[in-house]
Structure 1
Amino acid sequence: MTIKEKQNEIVEEFAFLEDWEQKYEYIIDLGKELKPLPEDKKTEQNLIKGCQSQVWINAHYDDEKLFFEADSDGILPKGIVSLLVSIYSGHSTDEILNSDFDFISEIGLQEFLSPSRANGLMAMTKQIKFYAVAFQLKK
């Protein structure tokens, strides 16, 4: 599945949810499904700056694809980072760099979040792009 196909799937899933309470619960459930990040990966280097909660994103490059793992000490940020990991993990650096984050506005996520959480979301998306650039340069 391409990144765009995964994004479209998320947009469709959110369209079925009637209100923000259901969307909030859906995001929290995503976080509960996220495999915990090993403690040795919860480093300052993997910590996302600008998030209200502590959020870590780690990446590794294997077979010309970038794979992400993440965690958070907050239930909502954990769900949000889980959503991002599910979309972007397992794709080439080119595909990640050529993708957009328009699905976030399509599902209305930024409107739902407080300003500080919206800033955290943007910091997470920037980190994913940063990892793609960094691993592309290592090729």
Structure 2
Amino acid sequence: MASAAFEEIAETFEFLEDWEERYRHVIELGKAMAPLDDALKVPATKVEGCASQVWLFPRIEGAGPAARFDFEGESDAMIVRGLIAVLHALYAGLSVTEVLAVDAEAELGRLGLNEHLSQQRSNGVRAMVERIRLLAAEAAAA
């Protein structure tokens, strides 16, 4: 149950010949993201478990299970910034209930990320997904 933006990334990945091109595409996705305001780079928004610095700031519209989920994010590492952009495409605009229903491992697996990221990066992606799920669960309960 991925968003249209994520489906577009998945289609682009199918078109790209090798992982190096896909890697560059992920970095370009990160470069296209708006920077996170420095005022939002605080301990409360920092994602623990990532090798690089990562911040995710939620933007929830509405209340309860039907609230719309969005977030801003940033990292000091280019590839991680791109991975944040991929996660944004996966989750942004879904209801918080839909966010909780997304099988992120399966969706990201469609991109082949599991085979091409280092163990540290994979752990970082899992930490970001866990944070997103936690934020969505908190919003759904509100």
- Output the TM-score relative to the length of structure 2: 0.90
Which stretch has the larger CA shift, 57-66 or 14-23? Answer: 57-66
CA distance in 2, matches of 1:9, 1:32: 17
Alignment-derived partner of residue 110 in structure 2: 106
Question: Percent identity over the alignment?
Answer: 35
CA distance in 2, matches of 1:107, 1:24: 11
Alignment-derived partner of residue 18 in structure 2: 19
Cα root mean square deviation, aligned: 1.4
Counterpart of 1:125 in structure 2: which amino acid? V
CA distance in 1, matches of 2:7, 2:89: 13
The offset of 1:7, in angstroms, is 3.5
Question: Is 1:87–2:93 an aligned residue pair?
Answer: no
Correspondent of 1:124 among 125, 128, 133: 128
* Count of aligned positions: 137
* Residues 38-95 of structure 1: CA deviation (Å, up to 9, x unaligned): 0111111111111111011010211321220000100000000011112211221111
CA distance in 1, matches of 2:73, 2:140: 20
Determine if contact 1:3/1:95 at 8 Å carries over to the other structure: no
Structure 1 gap ranges (5+) = none
Question: Is 1:78–2:77 an aligned residue pair?
Answer: no
- Output the TM-score relative to the length of structure 1: 0.92
